Amino acid sequence: MLILNTLTILLQIIVVGFVSILSMNIVRQFTSVARKMAVLAPAIFVNHGGGPMPLLGDEVHAGLTKFLRDDVQKHINLKEWKAIILVTAHWEESQVTISSGKHHDLYFDYYGFPPESYKYKYDAPGDPETAQRVHNALKDAGIPSKLDSQRGWDHGVFVPMMLINPEANIPIIQISVLENQDPKQHYEIGKVLQQFRKEGIAILGSGMSYHNMREFRYGRYKDAAVNKEFDDYLTKVCTAENESERKAGLLAWRDQPGASEAHPPRAAEHFMPLVVIAGAGGSKPAERIFNWDMSGAFRLSSYIWKGE
């Protein structure tokens, strides 16, 4: 009797053990299927305009605002996005810095605007786990980086995001550009970020394809785009079929006609997010999804990379 009981218990242990190993395998398989099922997210570069002006309904920004609020939706599917790695021109550091908090307050990094523009809310969550994985991936590629759980999300983040995704339901990992403005290093950062797109994590660059404060202020030109030649160059390079030509074209951007008018020397921080995004773009060419002359004078372009 005793022997029989012992045998039954032993048998039960074996059965339970077998079933749990089986179910663990099933869970594991499901997880990998879920990862595989994630739709490839795009790498996309947008222009964020001047301070909070797109959010204030500024007339000069009308085309840019409409694009961020309405037209960009035709090219992306936010429902497929698991998170957004967002490279902002308004955060320059000596090494790549990655927002790693569960929550980040907004950082109102502009001056002299109406009181309402210091009260915006954008409560999308942070994503500490992805932040850590980005940190690790950069480290594996030999690129120094650090985590920062404190710094708020600057207007390079919340201005476009309040228009693109007012629901604020997709986690964001804010990433700095490098203060050295070295195009090669920025392209390589993008190359590292590219792998996250397979998990449905979009890589979004927030800057300006043309950014000359002096010209914005004095607005001496009215009747034609001042930067047509440089803008044409950008489009030619970003939409090039051949990835190595695309890379070479972006790395040589400084030497192109109109480059220093579009982004004055040592003030190319608004261009760097585009270089990162091109690096994250993969082997297929970009599509230009926005091309509009602000004040009839300053041509702005946005690009999206959808391929692997």
31 vs 283, which CB is nearer to ligand NAG? 283
Sign for the CA dihedral angle at 7, 8, 13, 19 comes to positive
Build a one-symbol-per-residue string for 91-130: x at contacts with ligand NAG by CB under 6 A, - elsewhere: ----------------------------------------
Which tokens in the block code for residue 57? Answer: 């309904």
Nearest approach, Cβ of 240 to ligand NAG (angstroms)? Answer: 9
Nearest approach, Cβ of 243 to ligand NAG (angstroms)? Answer: 7
5 vs 244, which CB is nearer to ligand NAG? 244
Nearest approach, Cβ of 277 to ligand NAG (angstroms)? Answer: 20
Q: Which of residues 213-252 bind ligand NAG (CB under 6 A)?
A: 242, 244-245
82 vs 284, which CB is nearer to ligand NAG? 284
22 vs 248, which CB is nearer to ligand NAG? 248
Angle between helices 128-140 and 183-193 (to 10 degrees): 120
Build a one-symbol-per-residue string for 42-81: x at contacts with ligand NAG by CB under 6 A, - elsewhere: ----------------------------------------
Report how many residues bind ligand NAG under the rule CB under 6 A.
3
Nearest approach, Cβ of 230 to ligand NAG (angstroms)? Answer: 22
What is the Cα–Cα distance from 134 to 125, expressed in whole angstroms? 17
What is the Cα–Cα distance from 186 to 184, expressed in whole angstroms? 5
Other CB atoms within 10 Å distance of the CB of residue 307: 14
Write a three-state SS string for 76-126.
Answer: CCHHHCCEEEEEEEEEEECCEEEECCCCCCECCCCCCCCHHHHCCCCCCCC
Contacts of 114 (CB under 8 A, 6+ apart): 56
129 vs 245, which CB is nearer to ligand NAG? 245
Q: How many CA atoms lie within 13 A of 50 on its CB side?
A: 21
Nearest approach, Cβ of 242 to ligand NAG (angstroms)? Answer: 4
Nearest approach, Cβ of 141 to ligand NAG (angstroms)? Answer: 23
Q: Please answer whether residues 84 and 129 qualify as being in contact, where contact means their C-beta atoms are separated by less than 8 angstroms.
A: no
Task: State the residue number with the nearest CB to ligand NAG.
Answer: 242
247 vs 306, which CB is nearer to ligand NAG? 247
Q: Which of residues 15-44 bind ligand NAG (CB under 6 A)?
A: none
Q: Applying CB under 6 A, does 283 fall inside the site for ligand NAG?
A: no
Strand order in the sheet with 43-47: 145-148, 96-99, 172-178, 83-93, 201-207, 43-47, 298-305, 287-294
User: Tokens 């190595």 map to which residue?
Assistant: 244
170 vs 238, which CB is nearer to ligand NAG? 238
Closest CA to 203 of 47, 81, 86, 73: 86
Determine how β-strand 96-99 pairs with β-strand 145-148: parallel
Determine how β-strand 172-178 pairs with β-strand 83-93: parallel
6 vs 242, which CB is nearer to ligand NAG? 242
* Residue ranges that bind ligand NAG, judged by CB under 6 A: 242, 244-245
